[in-house]
């Protein structure tokens, strides 16, 4: 019945998201080609996957460390590194793109990949804030193109948003849903609309929290405590903002504001813009709305 059986997956971009996507795919027994810009970055990516796999093995094989080592070696053995995107897609059943969030760079990549990949290869982008239809527009396989939107950290977060554009075919959509399940994710479906489901709700919520703080209605700490203890959220909006990265939230808000200037939910935030301009990006830089111990 299934038109597309996915066994060979090429992941382009081995940063925060791509390394996680490669890891969970290999853990599910599929062959992965992981593409990065150069050998040095590739080495770092492979090291971060090894660290993450060691964590998984420790949990899964608590009582049998030798099985854990075997699991790590087998999983790593299924991931092949590459610095040649064109060569990397020649055998691919599915390509998942997780490179920098820049439409021009994504367009250039997908044009090259479209010319090199077999007609049956399915393409997906993990973009958080760009339109899938707009990314796909430079290819000749718009029916075999969709969004596969993962969450950070990929090995831990169960959700996968499967995005259909008006041109994504039913077969492609079904193949994406089946693949998501095969790598252990719970899939939901969403149209190609800004932020899909999670970010469309989460980003305005975080922005509203910042607006409350900017008005002086309550402190960041008190807003966080309120949402954790009163609404049952595992993290408060400022903790979440610092975790995601203020540059990321700011970039998303600015992009949506440009597209939809009349929507007050997407108004850029003064305090966030200031922190970003000072390099205070949240946990990763040691300071955002809160200060962090950099050694952590
Ligand atoms: P990142 O900056 O950690 O990783 C991007 C990687 O792509 C870098 O290692 C870079 O060297 C590599 N790269 C850039 N251009 C490339 C090219 N032409 N070919 C091969 N590799 C290339 O970024 P991150 O956070 O992993 O985001 C990647 C994508 O995933 C973006 O589209 C982002 O919107 C999306 N995303 C991010 C989430 C997050 O929480 N950070 C969540 C869900 C989606």
Please, is 178 exposed, middle or buried when counting C-beta atoms within 10 Å of its C-beta (0-12, 13-18, 19+)?
middle
Q: What pLDDT is recorded for position 3?
A: 75
Which of 149, 241, 285, 287 does the annotation list as catalytic? Answer: 149
Instruction: Give buried/exposed letters for 114-142 (b at 16+ CB in 10 A, else e).
Output: bebbeeebbbbbbbbbbbbbebbebbebb
Q: What pLDDT is recorded for position 105?
A: 98
The pTM is what?
Answer: 0.94
Can you read off the two tokens belonging to residue 249?
A: 């939230």
Positions of the chain with pLDDT under 50 = 1, 296
Between CA 97 and CA 124 the distance in angstroms is 6
Interface ipTM: 0.98
The CA 72 to ligand 1 mean position distance, Å, reads 24
In tens, the pLDDT along 105-115 reads 999 999 999 99
**Structural domains in the chain plus CATH codes:** 8-191 (3.40.50.720), 200-285 (1.10.1040.10)
Which of 99, 103, 281 is the pocket-test mutation for ligand 1 (most atoms within 8 Å of CB)?
A: 99
The CA 251 to ligand 1 mean position distance, Å, reads 14
Q: In whole angstroms, how far apart are CA 233 and each of 169, 186, 229, 281?
A: 37, 20, 7, 22
257 carries an active-site annotation:
no
Which of 82, 88, 128, 250 does the annotation list as catalytic? Answer: 128
Q: What pLDDT is recorded for position 2?
A: 65
Residue nearest to atom 9 of ligand 1 (CA): 15
Which of 88, 125, 199, 241 does the annotation list as catalytic? Answer: 199
In tens, the pLDDT along 225-234 reads 999 999 999 9
Each as own residue / partner, the long-range contacts of residues 216-224 (CB below 8 Å, 24 or more positions apart, any chain) are 220/289, 220/290
């Amino acid at each position: 019945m299934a038109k597309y059986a996915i066994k060979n997956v090429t992941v382009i971009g081995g940063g925060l998201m791509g390394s996680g996507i490669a890891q969970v795919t290999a853990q599910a027994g599929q062959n992965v080609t992981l593409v990065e810009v150069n050998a040095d970055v590739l080495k770092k990516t492979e090291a971060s996957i090894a660290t993450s796999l060691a964590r998984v093995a420790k949990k899964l094989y608590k009582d049998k460390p030798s099985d854990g080592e075997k699991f790590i070696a087998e999983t790593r053995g299924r991931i092949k590194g590459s610095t040649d995107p064109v060569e990397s897609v020649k055998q691919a059943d599915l390509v998942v793109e997780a490179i920098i969030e820049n439409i021009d760079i994504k367009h250039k990549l997908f044009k090259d990949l479209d010319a090199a990949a077999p007609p049956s290869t399915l393409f997906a982008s993990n973009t958080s804030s760009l339109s899938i239809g707009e990314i796909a527009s430079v290819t000749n396989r718009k029916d075999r193109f969709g969004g596969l939107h993962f969450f950070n950290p990929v090995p831990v977060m169960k959700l996968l948003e499967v995005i259909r554009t008006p041109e994504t075919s039913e077969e492609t959509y079904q193949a994406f849903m089946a693949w998501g399940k095969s790598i252990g994710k719970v899939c939901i479906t969403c149209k190609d609309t800004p932020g899909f489901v999670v970010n469309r709700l989460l980003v305005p919520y975080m922005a509203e929290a910042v607006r409350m703080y900017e008005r002086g209605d309550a402190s960041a700490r008190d807003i966080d405590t309120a949402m954790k203890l009163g609404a049952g959220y595992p993290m408060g909006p400022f903790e979440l903002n610092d975790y995601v990265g203020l540059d990321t939230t700011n970039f998303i808000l600015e992009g949506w504001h440009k597209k939809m200037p009349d929507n007050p939910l997407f108004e850029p935030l003064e305090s966030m813009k200031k922190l970003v301009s000072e390099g205070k990006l949240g946990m990763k830089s040691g300071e955002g709305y809160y200060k962090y111990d950099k050694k952590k």
